[in-house]
Amino acid sequence: METNLAKLAELSLERLGDHQSLFFEGTWHRSADLQARAARVATGLIGLGVRPGDRVVIIMANCPEVTIVYHALWRAGAAATPVVFLVSVDELAHILDDSGAVLVVTTPELLPKVTAAAAALPVVVVGQDSYAALEAAEPGSIVDRSPDDLAALLYTGGTTGRSKGVPLSHGNLAHAGASSRSASSVPGMVRGQTALPLSHSYGLLVTVGGMHLTEPFSTVLQRWFEPVSFLALAVEHRTQVAAVVPSMLVMLLAQPLEELDLGELRYVYSGAAPLADAVIDEFQRRVPSVTILEGYGCTETGAALTGMPADAPRRGTVGKAVPGMEIRIIGLDGEDVPVGEDGEVVVHGPTVMRGYWRGEPIADGWFHTGDVGRLDKDGYLTIVDRIKDVIIRGGYNVYPRDVEDVLLAHPAVSMAAVIGAPDARLGEEVVAFVSLVDGSVASEEELIAFAKERLSAHKYPRQVRIVEAVPLTSVGKLDRKRLRAAL
């Protein structure tokens, strides 16, 4: 398989032909035009001094220029360092310093943040002369790169400390795109939609996966997620597939779904965080045409690890390993646990990074995810929780997701997050933060009683705090770090 991402893009255009590939804010963009723009920008970047292996930070909300710059960097032999636009100035400064970036590409509304963090680094601003000059250059040839050469340097969310750089090679991303496309592709699905941040590993995977399509595909892109306009776009463009994170589904459930013509919507792919059964059940009940398919991955594996086959019966799992990936479940002794038992998920395969940026290589090629999971006899994976999030109450393990899923089954609860609070007698106590569905009423005592009826004595929360909004990270995951700080 070709692994140079720039060459993969050219092969894709040859295979699929020129077609309407991207709709963004009222305008269709054709695949040949997007690629021609990337070729010109690549020459412009080289003219600015960008060299093979250099890291260039891209900090933008979703727009066509995000993927144009990705492809331009790969044509120039450089590496993309995408940063979610909601990042703080301090964290952006850390990423710029740690990555050794030589340039920043951004948009006008984010320029003050970039200027505050970037110090003396050169900055290119989309929509201004600095970017227009790049697109005015003449296209050149693709720089040769090997499968092991750096293609992207992504940074983890930093929810437990400073974010760490995750170097992914051309080979890592090419295999991740091929594997995910093989696991999730459904013939006849040619109209998709997403508002996932393209500057996150999940959004990047969607981008690279598009290089492995076997038939022309059109994507409707939203600058950032907003549920009312997301649904309006789905109706207008007769969206067939959509890629989301669980918090987006929760927000969509607050909309009048039954009043909208969503009959073309067939598959909704969810990843990046656990998805409660109650959310799946409610969404599929209200939009009967939809099947929700969960997947699982990590930034360190190019976001591709498992996928749920579209025609498989629902199992409450995140699916089976995508082609080329191996998954084991190990105990504290490092040995494999029996089928069906909980342990740490460790993975191996061509999408796994060699080691963290400026860190030691992964010891034996097996990446330890830090997630608790189990495999059934057919190889389907269930993710239980993050090891670091497990609450130890009086010597018993309590998985926050177990408690959250029960609270989400209450009709008044919109979102729930559970953490452990220090407790002098038990070590930790179970505390839940919940937000309510608009117009609903529920007391903290009522929610505690609801959970107590459905959970064992050591699991149910002794405290429930009703908040206006449960905090989320910049990529839509529960922000437990902020909740711990609130305690």
- Domains parsed from the chain with CATH numbers: 1-386 (3.40.50.12780), 390-486 (3.30.300.30)
Q: Which pLDDT belongs to residue 21? A: 95
> pLDDT band at 433, cuts 50/70/90?
very high
Q: Where are the beta strands (DSSP E) in 413-480?
A: 413-423, 427-436, 463-466
pLDDT tens by residue, 252-299: 999 999 999 999 999 999 887 778 888 899 999 999 999 999 888 889
Q: Which pLDDT belongs to residue 160? A: 45
> pLDDT band at 481, cuts 50/70/90?
confident
Nearest Cα to Cα of residue 34 among 55, 19, 14 = 19
Q: Which pLDDT belongs to residue 310? A: 83
Q: Which pLDDT belongs to residue 159? A: 44
> pLDDT band at 161, cuts 50/70/90?
low
Residue 434 zone, left/alpha/beta (φ > 0; ψ -120 to 50; rest): beta
Cβ(369)–Cβ(413) below 8 Å: no
Radius of gyration of the chain (CA): 22
Is residue 294 packed enough to be buried (19+ CB in 10 Å), middle (13-18) or exposed (0-12)? buried
Confidence check: pLDDT of 101 > 60: yes
| 13 phi, psi to nearest 5 deg | -65, -40
Nearest Cα to Cα of residue 233 among 63, 476, 24 = 24
Query: Mean of the pLDDT values across residues 48-69?
Result: 96
Q: CA 200 to CA 192: how far, in whole Å?
A: 18
Q: Which pLDDT belongs to residue 95? A: 93
Cβ(64)–Cβ(131) below 8 Å: no
Q: Where are the beta strands (DSSP E) in 437-486?
A: 463-466
Query: Which range is least confidently modeled, 24-28, 160-164, 240-244?
Result: 160-164
The first and second tokens of residue 201, run together, are 């590993």
SS (H, E, C) 316-363: CCCCEECCCCEEEEECCCCCECCCCCCEEEEEECCCCCCECCCCCECC
Confidence check: pLDDT of 300 > 80: yes
Cβ(166)–Cβ(205) below 8 Å: no
Q: Which pLDDT belongs to residue 256? A: 95
Cβ(319)–Cβ(309) below 8 Å: yes
Cβ(406)–Cβ(455) below 8 Å: yes
Give me the amino acid identity at 368: H
Q: CA 480 to CA 305: how far, in whole Å?
A: 24
The DSSP secondary-structure symbol of 441 reads -
The first and second tokens of residue 185, run together, are 């592709």
| 242 phi, psi to nearest 5 deg | -140, 145
Q: CA 188 to CA 185: how far, in whole Å?
A: 9
Cα 34 vs. chain centroid, distance in angstroms? 23
Instruction: State the Cα angle at 131 between 128 and 133, rounded to 5°.
Output: 105
Cβ(233)–Cβ(220) below 8 Å: yes
DSSP 38-70: HHHHHHHHHHTT--TT-EEEEE-SS-HHHHHHH
Q: Which pLDDT belongs to residue 74? A: 97
Q: With H, G, I as helix, E, B as strand and everything else as coil, classify residue 117.
A: helix
Q: How long is the chain?
A: 487
Angle between helices 89-99 and 111-118 (to 10 degrees): 50
- Measured CA to CA in angstroms, residue 202 lies from 170, 380, 447 at distances of 16, 21, 34
The DSSP secondary-structure symbol of 86 reads T
Cβ(264)–Cβ(189) below 8 Å: no
Q: CA 172 to CA 185: how far, in whole Å?
A: 19
Q: CA 349 to CA 55: how far, in whole Å?
A: 25
